[in-house]
Amino acid sequence: MEDLRKRLLKIEERINYLSQIKDGVEWGNLSEKIVILRDKFYEYTEDQLSEEIRALEESISFLEGRCEETLTSMDRVRIVRNTHRFSLKDILENVYEDYTELGGAEEVSIDPSMVAARASIMRRVKNKTVMQQVMVIGHEKGHGEEYRNGGCSKPWGNEKALRYMKVAETEGIPIHFYIFTPGSFPVEDYPGAGQQIARNLYAMAKLRVPMISVTSEGGSGGAEAVGMADVRLMFSHGYYSVISPEGAAAIEGKIREGEKMPKELVEACAENLHITAAENLKLGTIDRIVHEPPLGAKRDDFGFFRQLKSEIIRATDEVVLKTKSLRAFRAYELTMKKKTEGQVGEEPHIEISWDLNEDEVKRLLSYRSKKYRAMSCAAYSEESSACSVFCRKAKKSIAKLYYSFRYDLLKTQQKHVKKVFQDVSGEGSVLLRQVSSPITAAYDFISKKPGARPGKSPVSSSGTGEDPIEFGDVYTSPLANEDRTVTCPNAEKQGCKDLWVPDLYGEFGGVCENCGHHFPLEYQWYLKHLFDPDSIREFNAGVCAGNPLAYPGFEKKLQSAIAKTGRKSGIITFDARVMGVDLVVAMLYSDFRNGTVGSAEGEKFVRACESAKLKRRPLLSYVHTTGGIRIHEGTLGVVQMPKCTMAVREYIDSG
């Protein structure tokens, strides 16, 4: 009877789980039957109870199958947020043999939402057991603990993750990342959420160990802080998004604080953002899907944990084998094991050392660089003919040859060559003076007029009376045409006087003369005043922002922005000079979709980094205005963070 009671409680739990996933849908008949059986439990015989419970289990299984077939994107979000969902601690307990949590445990950790642990994972090779060490880093949502902060890491939590990434690099062990976060906690005080995410990405770009990431709940930059891996896996019932469906609905519907969020709008945004594992696999933002049981895995799905262990070992093996010179047969065996039916949940019995030597590390970093460089390249358009593409490639090849010759070959010999030229020039001038001095003396004696006095050398003058350092007309902001005054935001604290608009945007250049507050100016003003006159040469202007997710209504907004600005993306990339110094500039500006970043903007920024690296010039990333990632491109916008960071890191490392 006790076994039957447990089965009845399990049925009730499954019914409640279905109701939570389907957002309050009531399964009336089944709920009533469960209540009757529970209240009159001892009035039934054991056979009657067994029959009733078996019928209920069959009905529940049928309903679960139907629900699995009709899962929406928002249903998957609710699955991930459910308290029955497994967490990182459950993975550590069931996938790894043993682990030691680092940096403090539970609520005494500097940030309990971020867990770092040194763990051992066991695999069987032939007839022996092999233990391999890894570093496990990820978000811990917990199961209702308030101090976990719902998996939203603070900057010091992400810094903790970075610290143990470097420990793993020192020890030469792989890193397994697990992402369970709706997003990073928005802290604007130092060190700042965005700044710490950038530091993590910068370090991960060239981390010298294999990295695997597995996403359950991936929210924008918080996920990327520990997500820049060599292989990116995702759970089949998880979600990976640029923003939460509720956040997208608030932006799209212009919902103010305190107003009720329309359920239909939230559901529509979840669908339009393409947040599911299958959709992200199609977009190329993840590499593979880890399949879960119907309606998602729970804490007690031990078969799922065996499968996860197999997948994580296989993914690490794949990364390591790509760096090995002698790998053909093991790579083939690994591929066949993956394709063979009946091998799911069984780790590959192949002997592969996860230690990398110096050459293998170089291959690993090269593979990682190519992986992120190729991301989202199909999500934008570029207006160019076959001839122009050929010319651009030829020009790039010639430029590469020229700059390599100029800087790699000649630069090393520059001092020696310069000294030789100085010596030759000095010897030549002395020789020329000795040869020409008799002729010059004779000419001066013949041409000299009696009574003539030596005059002063004439002073060159343009005759215009203008200062020769002035450059034509000075650009004045159109904002200066308004005849009114404005008040500085710091007037109460600093005692600033009201400013007359023509003076503010004309003579003062948009800066308060008292406190130095900068008023917003159009990007054209900066182009005219920051760079030398006529030095700007724009490139990659043909790269055009697109609508890769076919987001409803966005195509019209995009065309409106193109017509308004005359440009095709929210970033301008160009060569310019500042006080005679050549440099490459990437400038985000406000007029095009408020400077939001999508695939086109990321591609242009990466090309600017490559151009600066090729030409050995300074790179100026000038942010006039940016609204962050363009939500209408979903995770294709999110991956611009690691993609652009990789380009910046390679530019800096090139010297």
Please write down the long-range contacts of 89-96, taking CB distance under 8 Å and 24 or more positions apart: 89/115, 89/140, 89/142, 90/299, 90/305, 91/136, 91/178, 91/305, 91/308, 92/117, 92/119, 92/136, 94/302, 94/305, 95/121, 95/305, 95/308, 95/309, 95/312, 96/120, 96/121, 96/134, 96/136
Band of pLDDT at residue 432, cut at 50, 70 and 90: confident
Q: What is the pLDDT of residues 260-315, one digit of tens each?
A: 888 899 999 999 999 999 999 999 999 999 999 999 999 989 999 999 999 999 99
Arithmetic mean of pLDDT over the chain = 86
pLDDT at 445 over 90: no
User: What percent of the chain is helix, strand and coil (3-state, nearest 5)?
Assistant: 50, 15, 35
CA 32-38-40 angle, 5° bins:
100
The residue to which tokens 């006087």 are assigned: 497
Contacts of 123 (CB under 8 A, 6+ apart): 129, 130, 132, 313, 347, 348, 349
What is d(CA 387, CA 476) in angstroms, rounded to the nearest whole number?
A: 40
Query: What local confidence, expressed as pLDDT, does residue 545 receive?
Result: 94
Query: Which SS3 state, helix, strand or coil, does residue 517 take?
Result: coil
The residue to which tokens 């994972």 are assigned: 121
Query: What local confidence, expressed as pLDDT, does residue 413 receive?
Result: 67
Is residue 221 within 8 A of residue 194, CB to CB? The reply is yes
Burial class (CB in 10 A: 0-12, 13-18, 19+), 553: exposed
pLDDT at 407 over 80: no
Query: Which SS3 state, helix, strand or coil, does residue 543 take?
Result: strand
Is residue 289 within 8 A of residue 277, CB to CB? The reply is yes
Band of pLDDT at residue 393, cut at 50, 70 and 90: confident
What mean pLDDT comes out for the span 205-210? 96
Query: Which SS3 state, helix, strand or coil, does residue 355 take?
Result: coil
- DSSP state, 413? G
List Cα–Cα distances, 95 to 213, 292, 605, in angstroms: 15, 15, 40
Query: What local confidence, expressed as pLDDT, does residue 468 receive?
Result: 37
Instruction: Delimit the domains of the chain by residue range.
Output: 2-70, 81-308, 478-521, 523-653
Is residue 96 within 8 A of residue 123, CB to CB? The reply is no
List Cα–Cα distances, 613 to 375, 445, 583, 609, in angstroms: 20, 60, 11, 6
Q: Tell me the fold of 81-308.
A: 2-enoyl-CoA Hydratase; Chain A, domain 1 (3.90.226)
State pTM to two decimals: 0.85
Tokens of 143: 């199961």
What is d(CA 526, CA 541) in angstroms, rounded to the nearest whole number?
A: 19
Band of pLDDT at residue 547, cut at 50, 70 and 90: very high
**Of 594 and 436, more confident:** 594
Question: Which region holds residue 593: left if phi is over 0, alpha if psi is between -120 and 50, else beta?
Answer: left
What is d(CA 225, CA 215) in angstroms, rounded to the nearest whole number?
A: 12
Query: What local confidence, expressed as pLDDT, does residue 179 receive?
Result: 96
Q: What is the pLDDT of residues 31-76, one digit of tens each?
A: 788 888 877 777 777 888 888 888 888 888 888 888 999 899 999 9
What mean pLDDT comes out for the span 455-461? 41
Helices (H) and strands (E) counted in the chain, each on its own, are 23, 15
Query: What local confidence, expressed as pLDDT, does residue 14 receive?
Result: 87
- Which helix H or strand E contains 609, and what residues bound it? helix 599-615
Q: What one-letter code names the amino acid at 75?
A: D
Query: What local confidence, expressed as pLDDT, does residue 363 receive?
Result: 95
- Which helix H or strand E contains 484, and what residues bound it? none
Q: What are phi and psi of 620, to 5 degrees?
A: -110, 115
Query: What local confidence, expressed as pLDDT, does residue 383 receive?
Result: 77
Band of pLDDT at residue 412, cut at 50, 70 and 90: low
Whether domain 523-653 has CATH 3.90.226.10: yes
Query: What local confidence, expressed as pLDDT, does residue 470 receive?
Result: 40
What is d(CA 193, CA 154) in angstroms, rounded to the nearest whole number?
A: 7
Q: What is the pLDDT of residues 463-518, one digit of tens each?
A: 444 433 343 357 788 888 888 999 999 999 999 999 999 999 988 889 999 999 99
Lowest-confidence region among 85-99, 266-280, 323-337, 602-616? 323-337
- DSSP state, 82? S
Query: What local confidence, expressed as pLDDT, does residue 333 receive?
Result: 57
Q: What is the pLDDT of residues 163-205, one digit of tens each?
A: 999 999 999 999 999 999 998 887 766 778 889 999 999 999 9
What is d(CA 221, CA 233) in angstroms, rounded to the nearest whole number?
A: 17
CA 523-529-535 angle, 5° bins:
95
Tell how strand 114-125 and strand 128-139 pair up.
antiparallel
Q: What is the pLDDT of residues 573-594, one digit of tens each?
A: 999 999 999 999 999 999 999 9
Tell me the β-bridge partners of 363. none
What mean pLDDT comes out for the span 221-247? 93
Tell how strand 499-500 and strand 581-588 pair up.
unpaired
Query: DSSP strand E in 377-426: where?
Result: 381-382
Q: In the chain, what is the greatest distance between 2 CA atoms, to the nearest angstrom?
A: 145
Query: What local confidence, expressed as pLDDT, does residue 447 receive?
Result: 66
Tokens of 117: 């642990």
The residue to which tokens 């307990």 are assigned: 93
CA 412-413-415 angle, 5° bins:
105
Query: Which SS3 state, helix, strand or coil, does residue 136 take?
Result: strand
